[in-house]
Amino acid sequence: MFDPERITAELHRELGAVREERPAVRQAGVVTQLRLAGDLTATGGHTVVRAEFPAPELAVRLCRELTELYGRAAVRTDVVTAGGRPLRYFVKVTGSGSDLARATGLVDRLGRPVLGLPPAVVGGGAAVAAGVWRGALLARGRIVRPSGRARIHVTCPGPAVVLALVGAARALGVLAAGHETATEHRVVVRDPESVDTLLRATGAEGVADVLRRCADVASPVPSTPSASLETVNARRAAEAADRTTARVRWALDVLGAGAPSHLRAAGLLRVEHATLSLSRLGLLADPPMSKDAVAGRLRRLVVLAEEHAGPS
């Protein structure tokens, strides 16, 4: 039986056991954990850095990382929340909290909190992106299965962090999307291949194998009129994508190096990822675009090629 809470706990256990030796990757994970699971407060002229976790192992791990990477003594306290809810475990750095906030990039040179993730973390390449996502999964990641397929949800403190995580996912070849509800901001990874890629890149191979086995043994969806309609619509969408890809490939061949760079980039995305929706293509663009923007660029590329080719 698929138990999201048990699998999420296993995800945290497996990621918590990863022993990363590269300082930049370790720092990326620590900074992300502090940003997603923590907050900064000013008390009596001192900055207090605090992070909250659902399991003691995660708090102990962050304490160790803070000590080894930054030489800071972290204090862990256990508290019981109101209403009989589970124990929460806090990591709190006082005294040198202001120095730690600056060392990790949580505040800028003027002491103002950074809205997203520090620039050094955001632009650190694929290895650092893996560290960012490991930290995000440890801090606020969970496995859910709302409609038959397992997904990854990461709760974020704001839209700037959502954008940073989506960008880090793109560096790993993972499709991630921001989602805002009435109560929270989150990043969602829905595509099964992206879920598998992300878990393996961050060091959770065991959980990736479990989810793959669960997908293999999942019961087939019963045949209903609505399911049949969804199948027809999916087939029509795939046929339309094939036709569009063929036209875009032709347009790129016709225009060659003369194609405008922004139109050529959109066309190459369409050709390289022929099965993806326009929304997902937009997420892969740099910078990201809406599906309407992607569709518009593809149309202009084809029209330009038709004008260039002239009458047949």
- Same domain? 190 vs 229: no
Which of 170, 188, 216 is the last residue before a domain boundary? 216
Q: Count the domains in the chain.
A: 2
Segment 211-220 mean pLDDT = 70
What is the per-residue pLDDT across 70-98, written as a single tens digit (0 to 9) for each?
A: 876 655 555 555 455 566 777 877 655 55
What is the per-residue pLDDT across 135-186, written as a single tens digit (0 to 9) for each?
A: 999 999 999 987 778 999 999 998 999 999 999 999 999 999 998 888 889 9
- Same domain? 267 vs 288: yes
Domain range enclosing 272: 225-309
- Same domain? 244 vs 263: yes
- Same domain? 279 vs 169: no
How many angstroms separate the most distant Cα atoms in the chain? 78
Which of 216, 251, 286 is the last residue before a domain boundary? 216
Q: Is the peptide bond before 159 cis (omega within 30 degrees of 0)?
A: no
Q: Which of 25, 22, 15 is nearest to 131 (CA)?
A: 25
Q: Round to whole Å and give the CA distance between 283 and 144.
A: 22
- Same domain? 200 vs 291: no
Which of 216, 249, 268 is the last residue before a domain boundary? 216
- Same domain? 188 vs 104: yes
pLDDT of 219 > 50? The answer is no
- Same domain? 47 vs 165: yes
Q: Which of 288, 293, 297, 311 is nearest to 252 (CA)?
A: 297
Q: Round to whole Å and give the CA distance between 60 and 79.
A: 15
Q: Round to whole Å and give the CA distance between 69 and 262.
A: 42
Intra-chain end-to-end CA distance of the chain, in Å = 60
Count Cβ atoms below 10 Å from residue 23 Cβ, excluding itself: 10
Q: Who's near 152: CB < 8 A, 6+ residues apart?
A: 137, 141, 142, 143, 144, 188, 189, 195, 198, 199
- Same domain? 241 vs 211: no
pLDDT of 228 > 60? The answer is no
What is the per-residue pLDDT across 7-55, written as a single tens digit (0 to 9) for each?
A: 999 999 999 999 999 999 999 999 999 999 988 776 666 667 888 888 8
pLDDT of 198 > 70? The answer is yes
Q: Which of 36, 37, 40 is nearest to 48 (CA)?
A: 40
| Res. 107 pLDDT band, cuts 50 70 90 | confident
- Same domain? 258 vs 241: yes
- Same domain? 173 vs 266: no
Residue 122: give its domain's CATH number: 3.10.28.10
Q: Which of 55, 65, 75, 136 is nearest to 104 (CA)?
A: 65
- Same domain? 152 vs 237: no
- Same domain? 170 vs 249: no
Predicted pLDDT of residue 165: 95
Higher pLDDT, 293 or 88: 293
